[in-house]
Amino acid sequence: MNKKDITSSFNNIVNHEFTKEVFQDSVPVVKDISVPGTITKVAAQYKRDLDINETYLLNVGNRLSHLLIMCEQLRHIPYYLLSFCPTKTMKDVGVNRHNHILLFIEDYIVRTQSLYDRTLQLVNVVFNIYDSPNLIGHNLVITNAHVRNSKLPPVIKKLKKITDKYYKDRLNIIHKECYQDDDLRYLELLSIVSSTKDDQNIKEDLKFYSRDYVNKKAKEFLCLNKEIYSTLFQIFDVLKDRYEEQKLEYRILYKAKSTLPSKA
């Protein structure tokens, strides 16, 4: 297996040294400061105010976990796409192979852009660029002085190029219309005819073309996932160095503040 294959799998993202270090730092903080019984609640409840170092560790851990969840969802979608076992209830409410395929294709397309946005959010907290996550975007991140002086810009741009493959499709899905291509339109026609006409030949055609189509789409998505994970691996290499530098700075700052004499 070559280096590209080694760095392209989801497992290698999860097992990256950056990932391990972030969770080794942040999980003990959460356990230490959380009010008993509230550790799993969305709105965190803490025993005391966080110091600057703890805030940094928790912010990075939070953003990294949400990025990894998105990576895992993209990993799963091709297999959801390949698997279709409708129950009677699903059939009764009109779930068929065509709308099942359409659902997961659109899901994948939208999530590729969400993955890029979550990557920017992670970069924001690691580099401590801006307090408001709502203002974070490609241009703000890429033009930040600290980011510009790192090895991050080329790989961030590379990830954007990969996820932009479906950029126009995503805009259409969210704002205008369903995802469409010629083969999927043909499957839609077969689905409509099959539901209104009891013709075994049409049903067999639908099975054959559906299987062929989802195999191609699943392969397409799996290949894109490999590109995404490979690029994230490179991004994590850069983030690890910055994370360790920033963490040290905050520790020194907190130690200096804690040794200052209190005001009378």
In terms of pLDDT, which residue wins out, 131 or 234? 234
For residue 46, the SS3 value is strand
| pLDDT on residue 201 | 82
Chain center to CA of 79: 17
Q: Cα 16–21–22 angle (5° rounding)? A: 100
Region class of 144: left (phi > 0), else alpha (psi between -120 and 50), else beta: beta
Q: What is each CA distance from 71 to 44, 232, 233, in whole angstroms?
A: 24, 10, 12
Range ranked top by mean pLDDT from 133-142, 183-192, 219-228: 219-228
- With cut-offs at 50, 70 and 90, classify the pLDDT of residue 78: very high
- Asked if the model's pLDDT at residue 3 lies above 50, the reply is no
| pLDDT on residue 197 | 76
- With cut-offs at 50, 70 and 90, classify the pLDDT of residue 207: confident
According to DSSP, residue 84 is labeled -
- With cut-offs at 50, 70 and 90, classify the pLDDT of residue 1: very low
For residue 131, the SS3 value is coil
| Dihedral of the alpha carbons of 221, 222, 223, 228, in degrees to the nearest 10 | 90
Q: Look at 86-90, 111-115, 151-155 and tell me which has the smallest mean pLDDT.
A: 86-90
| pLDDT on residue 262 | 56
pLDDT, mean over the chain:
89
Q: What are the backbone dihedrals phi and psi of residue 105, each rounded to the nearest 5 degrees, phi first?
A: -65, -45
Residues 193-201, mean pLDDT to the nearest whole number: 79
Q: What is the pLDDT of residues 22-56, one digit of tens each?
A: 999 999 998 888 888 777 777 778 888 888 888 99
The angle, 0 to 180 degrees and rounded to 10, between the axes of the packed helices 52-82 and 17-33 is: 120
| This prediction's pTM | 0.88
Residues 108-137, mean pLDDT to the nearest whole number: 91
- Asked if the model's pLDDT at residue 192 lies above 90, the reply is no
Residues 130-145, mean pLDDT to the nearest whole number: 86
For residue 48, the SS3 value is coil
